Amino acid sequence: MRKKIETKMDLNFVLFTCFISFVSGENVDGLELKMASVLYRHGDRSPVATFPKDEHRSYWKQGLGQLTEIGKKQEFSMGQFLKKRYVVNKFLNQTYLRKQVHCRCSDKDRCLMSAEAQMAGLYPPLYVKKPVQDDKEWQFWQLIPIHTVPQNHDKLLRPYDYNDCPRLQEIKQKSFSDPEYIEMEKKYKDFIQNVSINLGLSKSLTLNTIYKAYDVFFCQRAHNLSWPDWLTPDIFEKLEVLQDFDFVWMFNTPEKARLTGGVLLGEMIQNMKKFKKNPGNAKKLHVYSAHDTTVVALLSALKIYTGIPPPYSTAFLMELYYSKSTSKYMVRMFYRNDTSQPHRAYELSIPGCPLNSCSLDSFITLTSSAVPKDYEAECHVNQSSCSVKCKTNDCNEKTCKDTLTAVVIILLLAFIAFVGYIVRRCQVKRNAKSLRHFQQIQNEEWDSE
């Protein structure tokens, strides 16, 4: 069953990816690494949800959706991978330099902690031995700034959850009425209801939320925790099929992919353009600590997502090289998603851009349709009619009420100001008229007693 659905997904998402032998950062003859952008998923975490009959809910000491000790180790290993790739060959300085590296992170604890662990692996303490004076100990740690924005404003690393793109919300809602989606809902309706009952839920999960059940059991298995008796391998496999289907569905049209992963793709391209224009005033490494959905969105925008969700600590690398033979800038992409080979990466390619010979100009041209030209315009941000937005599910009831309230207040203040102006004008006219009846006082009269 899983193979059948995966085959169907592969027909919709043709893999334009060429896997070659493992590479570990060594340069191809004639190509010199100049800059890189790295997007990676956070490490192992606790489940994002629980359910009434969950026997292991108290196992997760830090709560739901938090980075585990395993995850910390995975991200530290990620940092060591980047160190081997970028520091050992002297692409980056041995110690942290602000002008070389910029780290951007999704505003989630697990992503922030992953970024800290990754940076600790990339830039470990300057000395292994503890200093003699305890008050000097902090000086031996390389403290790295990690930048973030509130998650509901993060169109770069949490594009699927970004609230200020009405068009994206509209096409998401419409896609749930697609015949293929409805067919999947009908096919697995009884299965989802039975799973919900076994979880002890009073309200059944849906095709859009069943991933939460899969996530719980996936995390439990990763930590060698027992499963309930009703959860057979066959049931878990069906949950996995539904989870994979949901991942594909989130970005299954060019417009969905452009308004999500296309935003980050556009930023990575801008990073390369800036470096090409002014190498001495541009960062050499941009690091993005985010989620599996972020990785899938980017791969979907590039049209190279295979339908297989990225494991923990997966990394996508986009690197800019300079070709000495052609005097051109070249783009190479790598994918680190093999947990058994943490210091290895596969090289990827897109249609029309052969491996090791994809110029920056060609890459920009070939991906132009995947990058928003005017994000706000494509998102219909400037359509201020709240009634239109509400009819298309682009804003909720609260947003409409808040907007109308603000308009009423503004109009009321304007009316009060206008009335005040009229009253003041009337007073000035009356005063001017009354002054005509006063006799002018001569200067000498003020001196009289």
44 is catalytic: no
User: Of these residues, 10, 292, 338, 380, which one is catalytic?
Assistant: 292
User: CA-to-CA distance for 368 and 357, rounded, in angstroms?
Assistant: 19
Buried b (16+ CB within 10 A) or exposed e, 133-170: eeeeeeeeeeebebebeeeeebbbbbbbebeebbbbbb
178 is catalytic: no
**β-strand partners of 335:** 316, 346
CB 123 within 8 A of CB 141: no
What single string gives the DSSP state of each residue in 173-207? HHHTTSHHHHHHHHHTHHHHHHHHHHHT-SS---T
CB 265 within 8 A of CB 367: yes
Please count the CA atoms within 13 angstroms of the CA of 211 that sit on its side-chain side. 13
CB 106 within 8 A of CB 158: yes
CB 257 within 8 A of CB 367: no
User: Of these residues, 42, 102, 286, 291, which one is catalytic?
Assistant: 42
CB atoms within 10 A of CB 100: 15
Instruction: Name the residues annotated as catalytic.
Output: 42, 292
